[in-house]
Amino acid sequence: MELKNNLTTETGWEIIQDAFDPEDLVTTGSNFMIGNGYLGYRGTFDNWGPEEFVACVVTDTWDQAKDSRWSELCNVPNGLFSEIKADGETCSLFSGSLKNYSHRLDLRYGLNSRKIQWVGSNGQGVELESRKFASYDTHNLLVQEFKFSAVKSGIYTLKTGINGEVWSLNGSHFKSGKTLRLTEDLIGSHLQTYELGTEVAIVEGVNLKGNPPEEMHISKSGDSIFREYTFHLKPGETVALEKVIAIAHSNELEDPLGAAQKMVHDALGKGYAELFTSHKKPWDAFWKISDIQISGNPEAQLLTRFNLYQAFIATPTHANLPVGARGLSCQVYQGAAFWDQETYNLPMFAFTHPEIAERLVAYRYDTLQGARRKAQGLGYYGAFYAWTSGKTGDELFPDFFFTDVLTGRPIRNHFNCWQIHISPDVVYGIWLYYQATGDWDFIVKQGAEVLFEVAHFLVSRVHLKKDKGRYEIIRVLGPDEYHENVDNNAFTNYLARYALQKACIVYDRLAIEQNETLKALVGKIELPQMARGDWQEISENLFLPQPDPETGIIEQFDGYFKLEDIRPDALRKRLIDPGEYWGWPNGIAIHTQVLKQADVIQLLAMLDGFSQEILTANYEYYEPRTEHGSSLSPSVHALVASKAGHPEEAYRYFLESAGIDLYNESKKVMSGGSFLGGIHTAAAGGVWLILVKGFAGMVLTDDGVSFRPALPETWDAYTFKIRIKGCLLEVGLNQKEISILNVASNSGSLRVAAKGKEAQLHPGETFLA
């Protein structure tokens, strides 16, 4: 079927592009990317380079670029570079004529494939076909099948190997390295990063099939190394190769070059078909639980799968590492975790693949030391998590992020020091993981320490207003980043209380059940004796902005209602330059009620227990004032609109969120002078939230789960699976009813509720409402 943005799908499992549009370089490269949570490889053409945004982004390679204030993941040299010349003319998407262009991404297995027929200026040309995937079996590997056949008789050259010219957003990361012919068959590139001296190795090998070359030699140039083949081909004669590259680095492996060499050698021995078979298994396992099947609306089906796909390949499953805000689609946002990880990406895994979710929460435990250093550096105790968190958890967000496009002056954004909700958000994620899995063991071994340290941090961050007899949180920045330097931000204060309460719960349960463990932990982190009491006292006396008794509206922060009440479209007219940042220090939104994203809506999406009236009142107040300058905003609006009784708006926001990348809905490639392209990973995770927490209205209860369905009008039905405390449930919804199957192989029963009905659901039983 036809999709927007000149895309089609056949089965709802692939996206297909039938024409090449140079305008869409950035978007297409992101949307057609492949990856495996270890690396991301953009959907670019074989002979492209930095100008076309070719990138192979590798996790766990954080390093500060030369002459830069940025620590970010490295783009590594492109080992999948290939260039064909037919009688001396380069086969290019930018010249000659293209026929039968087809570019596909198979979502089921993360397979990027391409066919073109290219004819050059002298009538000479090639038919080219390639397929590639980032192995889920051996995450260091990229595997490609590449073949071309001659249109006319002639001399064809193929230059293939490792292109060392790297697109790097904020300066070069590599000292000039070595390029090597490792063996008769293998070539490699061996580099070191500037700051930390991390070793990175790319090894490439090929199995050459089809017509043999007349000649082959190795060429080197700068940091690049290529094989150059010459073929004499007659019409229809074909050259085929299986290419394998391995990317390894010293943060993971001791001898990256040797390890990569071995991996490529072994992989070449297996060949493309066998490698692909092994690669398919983890994908099958993923989709078995995670697929959401929608009937009646193929577009919604495809969009949903596309987002699940992007959310999955962005997430490291091989180690405890963060999910980047742009996944591994580019270097934007430094390949590091933000609060999005807990609030947008974790939930899907917590309820479908808890073993992946565990890696994410364990990552926060692993980075506790960095969070402690950040707190200390700013004069606080405990754990203040990094706004931008890489390997160590030290703050990667620079003091100056945006540039004032009107003056060229750097802007001191305070995301790193004032957006303190990150620490409660981490607690939220851990608690969500615990609620979904019941994994108390994780809490005991890792979670408790995080919770205590966050609570400890909050004690040192709140202020007591003696005249009002309450604690306040002063000078923060909520998720709505247009309003810096505000007090008693509703989202921040509610989440802070949430975190303090969970710390108390865990403390008390440990005191009763595992007092020795508690003592050891208290000793280890040197928790003061009154800490537990402080947490409770603060959580009980922390000021929480209450719904107005008349209107039900919660004020986003102290004084918000006094700001100018204007709508985003009217406000936009005050822009002097369309690339201006709307927020601090003097952007157009700061003295108005216009929001980047609505903190109260975010709060209502995350914490349960607000009444329908409150949901509706706040949605109706904040939604028209929200500019959605954040890609996180539409999904949470879809979710809350659904709960607030606005199904049409919920669906509109669902489409906006789900299409943000595929349909290039967020045209904002630049903001405040910064390149912000790439996949919006949080929005991808947000699609799962909309479908499960929004349209199905899933809410965890003390002993199970309840649903409050609000199916989009145009859908006949949809089904998804969730796992709660080990029980796999199959949930089906149509316009009339909801069915919940407790899968027969489960061992436990669960309380389920929907539409006023309630039941204890045993394995093999189905609940209908």
Rounded to a whole number of angstroms, the minimum distance from the CB of residue 563 to a copy of itself is 11
Buried b (16+ CB within 10 A) or exposed e, 483-497: bbebbbbbbbbbbbb
CB within 8 Å of 384: residues ≥ 6 apart: 371, 374, 375, 378, 420, 422, 423, 457, 461
Q: Which amino acid is at 669?
A: V
Rounded to a whole number of angstroms, the minimum distance from the CB of residue 453 to a copy of itself is 14
Structure token digits, residue 658 = 């789900």
Letters for 351-390 (x = contact with a copy of itself by CB under 8 A, - = none) are ----------------------------x-x---------
Nearer to a copy of itself, 352 or 423 (CB): 423
Q: Which amino acid is at 439?
A: D
Among the candidate windows 222-230, 366-374, 401-409, 642-650, which touches a copy of itself by CB under 8 A?
Answer: 401-409
Peptide bond into 585 cis (omega under 30): yes
Rounded to a whole number of angstroms, the minimum distance from the CB of residue 474 to a copy of itself is 6
Q: Within 663-702, which residues bind a copy of itself (CB under 8 A)?
A: none
Question: Does the protein bind a copy of itself through residue 718 (CB under 8 A)?
Answer: no
Q: Which amino acid is at 347?
A: P
What value, to the nearest 5°, has the Cα angle with vertex 71 and ends 67 and 72? 115
Closest CA to 103 of 115, 95, 92: 115
Structure token digits, residue 40 = 């991301």
Give the separation between CA 713 and CA 424, rounded to whole angstroms. 36
Give the separation between CA 61 and CA 380, rounded to whole angstroms. 29
Nearer to a copy of itself, 156 or 581 (CB): 581
Rounded to a whole number of angstroms, the minimum distance from the CB of residue 542 to a copy of itself is 12
CB within 8 Å of 539: residues ≥ 6 apart: 497, 500, 501, 504
Q: What is the DSSP letter of 389?
A: B
Residues carrying an active site annotation? 481
Rounded to a whole number of angstroms, the minimum distance from the CB of residue 416 to a copy of itself is 14
**Residue count, binding to a copy of itself (CB under 8 A):** 29
- Report yes or no: 357 and 436 within 8 Å, Cβ to Cβ: yes
Give the separation between CA 334 and CA 198, rounded to whole angstroms. 17
Q: Within 565-624, which residues bind a copy of itself (CB under 8 A)?
A: 576, 584-586, 590-591
Q: Which amino acid is at 438?
A: G
Give the separation between CA 55 and CA 71, rounded to whole angstroms. 17
Nearer to a copy of itself, 34 or 531 (CB): 531
Letters for 405-424 (x = contact with a copy of itself by CB under 8 A, - = none) are -xxxx-xx------------
> Which strand (E) or helix (H) includes residue 376?
helix 368-377
Nearer to a copy of itself, 118 or 535 (CB): 535
Nearer to a copy of itself, 339 or 452 (CB): 452
Rounded to a whole number of angstroms, the minimum distance from the CB of residue 676 to a copy of itself is 21
Nearer to a copy of itself, 340 or 534 (CB): 534
Nearer to a copy of itself, 389 or 592 (CB): 592
Nearer to a copy of itself, 8 or 485 (CB): 485
Q: Within 509-538, which residues bind a copy of itself (CB under 8 A)?
A: 534
Q: What are phi and psi of 66, to 5 degrees?
A: -60, 135
> Which strand (E) or helix (H) includes residue 313?
helix 298-313
Rounded to a whole number of angstroms, the minimum distance from the CB of residue 460 to a copy of itself is 4
Nearer to a copy of itself, 171 or 585 (CB): 585
Letters for 439-478 (x = contact with a copy of itself by CB under 8 A, - = none) are --------------------xx-xxxxxx----x-xx---
Rounded to a whole number of angstroms, the minimum distance from the CB of residue 501 to a copy of itself is 18
Q: Within 146-175, which residues bind a copy of itself (CB under 8 A)?
A: none
Find the distance separating the first CA and the last CA of the chain, reported in whole Å: 33
Rounded to a whole number of angstroms, the minimum distance from the CB of residue 518 to a copy of itself is 22
| Helices 612-622, 599-606: inter-axial angle, 10-degree rounding | 150
- Report yes or no: 93 and 69 within 8 Å, Cβ to Cβ: no
Q: What is the DSSP letter of 556?
A: S
> What does the binding site for a copy of itself look like in residue numbers (CB under 8 A)?
379, 381, 404, 406-409, 411-412, 459-460, 462-467, 472, 474-475, 485, 534, 558, 576, 584-586, 590-591
